[in-house]
Amino acid sequence: MGKKNLIAVLVLAIVIALFPLLVKNDYYRSIMVFVGIHAMVTVGLALLLVYAGQISLGHGAFFGIGAYTSGILTVKFAANPLLALVMGIVLVIIVAYVIGKPSLKLTGHYLAMATLGFGWLAYIFFNEQTNLTDGPSGLIGIPQLSLLGIELDTDLDYYIVVWLLLLIFLCMALNITRSRVGRALRSIGDDEIAAESLGVDTAKYKIQVFVLSAVYASIAGSMYAYYLNFVSPSDVNIFFSIRLVIMVVIGGMTNVWGALIGAAVLTIMPEVLTIFEDYDVLIFGGILVLMMIFMPKGLGSKLASLETLIQLRHSRRRS
Amino acid sequence: MTLSAQLAQYVISGITIGCIYAMVAIGFNIIFNSTGIINLAQGEFVMLGAMSMVLLSHFHIPFLLTFLISIVAVGIIGGLFQRLVIDPLRNESMIVLVFVTLGVSILLSGSVMFILGKEPYLPPAMISSQPIPFLGTAIDPQYLVVMGVTLTVVVLLTLFFEKTILGQAIKACSINRMAASLVGINPRKMIFFSFVLSAVIGAIAGIVIGPITMMEYDRGPMLCLKGFAAAVLGGLGSIHGAVLAGLMLGLLESFGAGYVSSSYKDALPLIVLLAVLFWKPTGLFGVTEEREI
């Protein structure tokens, strides 16, 4: 994982542990649950987008499949919530493989359009398959998740589980980025043809990271369904997919940590600033356009170039 | 209703909606040909065209004038889009261009939501909506307007690209940008014109379809996807392929809604889109040509 990342993970773990001790307010705790849920998706999406350079505008659908599988199996078939979550993962692995395999042969705009089309198809399914999903009004009465015989029924319970899961996901992602697979992904992101000609099995690595990121999204979706006891198609529409991508983009497109920060910023801001409530579409669009125009390589690159600039100044002064 | 009447109705509504997909697809093609970019904000031009008609209808000006103002306004937006966003980023990676056109799409729909709110509107129609009897059914004359306008747009565009200097220059740029600039054509100017033209065609589509389907701020992305499906099916870059594919998709959607499932009618063009992208990305009528994207 590397020393820097290890320290960062430890610091994060301490912050996560301290937060509920310092903040007793349920509202703030529930915002942090949502931050954790969104971050679970964006960390996976960052592996796909930042490292492998592959766009997905359809990850809201994997989130939705996770959420709806959990919801449908528990509500309509009285399944055990944990089992339903696992079934969601299985289903998402299959769907992500079937969709990802042909999609990932495409590049750039085509990949964006294919994943967008898939995301919309899933949304139509959630809306129209009313015998399973209860349609546009959403699926209600999803039970709480219970782990080891303990039912999670407070904000704090979900806070702990979600952030523990996120820590695990994060460590996995950080390990991947520093492994052989991570280097292969980076080479694909930099120049796919060059990577291929050097013997990197680009198709294999791309589908692996696509499925992994879809599984992250599925688990996040299941947690969302259990936490809210509810899921509706509009929670997982393409605008949600796009918001997830914007979180990663805002985070700087340089590493996995950025995705975490992006998820936190774009989840907390709409809660704190009421202007977001009515004009969220406008603000998200504005953020994305301005980011791309002024820092197309992401926030992280600006900071990085600032760092080199300062270092240059220092070295010049010394000489 | 008799079978023939039912068939006639499906055919007419299919062709009408297909005309709109065709015009969105043409818009995609014009920008794709000059830049290699797939403009994810293409559907927003359609929405903007209809919504500007709604806005202008408050001022009690003659229809033709509102029509012209709307087209010019959306054309200006298309031009500004190119000047302010696409041009400065012309050397950036594809991912940046995908995200920025996506961002502009959200920004435009968000702006319309800011001004007009979330509810659907009915833009004014060109002619009165006295139904015309046809094969045992009655059709809204607006359907004929859509078909007539689409035909006019396609004919004018063909003439434009074949007969005018500007059209030839845009075409030259899309064939070989370097060679075009060697003979004194400014490619950046041509890209600017292609964005304006593409926006104008989108706006026209929105103005004619609005009175039939109504319009709201978030209709753009679906129109964009279906139009893109038509563009890919017809072979990216081909205007006539786009028209044929658009009509096919429209008919598929209307017959699918009638005979298969009305709740899944929106899914059909998307399934076609995925199928074409997965198995034959060059489209049905497309020529296999390696492009520098």
DSSP class per residue in B107-152: HHHHHHHHHH-SS-B-PPPSS---PEEETTEEE-HHHHHHHHHHHH
B24 touches A: beta carbon within 8 Å: no
Q: Are A135 and A128 in contact (CB under 8 A)?
A: yes
**A109·B94 Cβ contact <8 A:** yes
**Angle between helix B141-163 and helix B187-213 axes, rounded to 10 deg:** 170
- Domain tally, chain B: 1
A120 touches B: beta carbon within 8 Å: yes
Set of chain B residues whose Cβ sits within 8 Å of the Cβ of A289: 85, 100, 103-104, 107
The distance in angstroms from the start CA to the end CA of chain B is: 51
Those of residues 217-246 in B touching chain A at CB distance below 8 A are: 217-218, 221-222, 225, 228-229
Q: What is the nearest CA distance from B134 to chain A, expressed in angstroms?
A: 33
**B266·A279 Cβ contact <8 A:** no
**B270·A285 Cβ contact <8 A:** no
Map tokens 């299941």 to a residue: A222
Nearest of B96, B275, B264, B48 to residue A112 by alpha carbon: B96
pLDDT of residue A303: 55
CB atoms within 10 A of CB A11: 10
Lowest mean pLDDT among A145-154, A176-185, B99-108, B264-273: A145-154
Letter string b/e over residues A184-221, b meaning 16 or more CB atoms within 10 A of that residue's CB: bbebbbeebeebeeeebebeebbbbbbbbbbbbbbbbb
Q: Are B11 and B213 in contact (CB under 8 A)?
A: no
Cα-based angle A148, A149, A154 (whole degrees, multiple of 5)? 95
Set of chain A residues whose Cβ sits within 8 Å of the Cβ of B110: 279-286
Q: What is the nearest CA distance from B131 to chain A, expressed in angstroms?
A: 32
Q: What is the nearest CA distance from B258 to chain A, expressed in angstroms?
A: 16
pLDDT of residue B289: 46
pLDDT of residue A260: 93
Q: Answer whether residue B226 is part of any domain.
A: yes
Residue A22's Cβ-side half-sphere holds a number of Cα atoms within 13 Å equal to: 6
Q: Write the pLDDT tens digit of every residue in A216-267.
A: 999 999 999 999 999 999 999 999 999 999 999 888 777 889 899 999 999 9
pLDDT of residue A272: 82
A225 touches B: beta carbon within 8 Å: no
pLDDT of residue A305: 60
CATH no. for residue B117? 1.10.3470
Q: Answer whether residue B108 is part of any domain.
A: yes
Which residue in the set B92, B277, B293 is minimally distant from A114, CB to CB? B277
**A55·B271 Cβ contact <8 A:** no
Please give the residue that has the higher pLDDT: either B123 or A279: B123
Q: Answer whether residue B180 is part of any domain.
A: yes
Q: Answer whether residue B288 is part of any domain.
A: no
Q: Name the β-bridge partners of A59.
A: none
B267 touches A: beta carbon within 8 Å: yes
pLDDT of residue A238: 92
Judged by phi (left if over 0) then psi (alpha if -120 to 50, else beta), residue B237 lies in left
Run of H or E including B132: strand B132-134
Q: Tell me the percentage of chain A whose pLDDT exceeds 70.
A: 92
pLDDT of residue A306: 60
Residue A155 has pLDDT above 60, yes or no: yes
Q: Write the pLDDT tens digit of every residue in A123-141.
A: 999 999 999 999 999 999 9
**pLDDT (mean) for A181-194:** 87
- Radius of gyration of chain A measured on its C-alpha atoms: 20
Which residue in the set B104, B106, B264 is minimally distant from A284, CB to CB? B106
Q: Write the pLDDT tens digit of every residue in A251-262.
A: 877 788 989 999
Q: Which residue of A has its CA nearest to B91?
A: A296
pLDDT of residue B200: 97
Map tokens 């017959």 to a residue: B255
The span from the CA of A198 to the CA of B120, in Å, is 54
B208 touches A: beta carbon within 8 Å: no
Which residue in the set B88, B225, B277 is minimally distant from A110, CB to CB? B277
Q: Answer whether residue B129 is part of any domain.
A: no
Q: Which domain holds residue B25?
A: 3-121+138-279
A47 touches B: beta carbon within 8 Å: no
Contacts of A310 (CB under 8 A, 6+ apart): none
Set of chain B residues whose Cβ sits within 8 Å of the Cβ of A293: 84-85, 88-89, 100
Set of chain B residues whose Cβ sits within 8 Å of the Cβ of A242: 102, 106
Q: What is the nearest CA distance from B182 to chain A, expressed in angstroms?
A: 29
- Radius of gyration of chain B measured on its C-alpha atoms: 19
Could you give the residue ranges of the DSSP H alpha helices within chain B?
3-35, 42-56, 63-80, 94-116, 141-163, 165-175, 177-182, 187-213, 220-233, 239-255, 267-279
B260 touches A: beta carbon within 8 Å: no
Q: Answer whether residue B227 is part of any domain.
A: yes
Q: Answer whether residue B36 is part of any domain.
A: yes
Residue A190 has pLDDT above 90, yes or no: no
Mean residue pLDDT of chain A comes to 89
For chain A, the residue count is: 319
**A113·B99 Cβ contact <8 A:** no
Nearest of A239, A277, A224, A288 to residue A60 by alpha carbon: A239
CB atoms within 10 A of CB B125: 18
Set of chain A residues whose Cβ sits within 8 Å of the Cβ of B221: 116, 120, 238
pTM: 0.92
A108 touches B: beta carbon within 8 Å: yes
Residue A318 has pLDDT above 80, yes or no: no
**B271·A121 Cβ contact <8 A:** yes
Q: What is the mean pLDDT of each run of 10 residues along chain B (293 residues)?
A: 85 95 96 92 96 92 93 97 93 87 94 92 84 81 94 96 92 87 91 96 96 93 96 92 96 92 89 92 61 38
Q: Answer whether residue B201 is part of any domain.
A: yes
Run of H or E including A35: helix A26-46
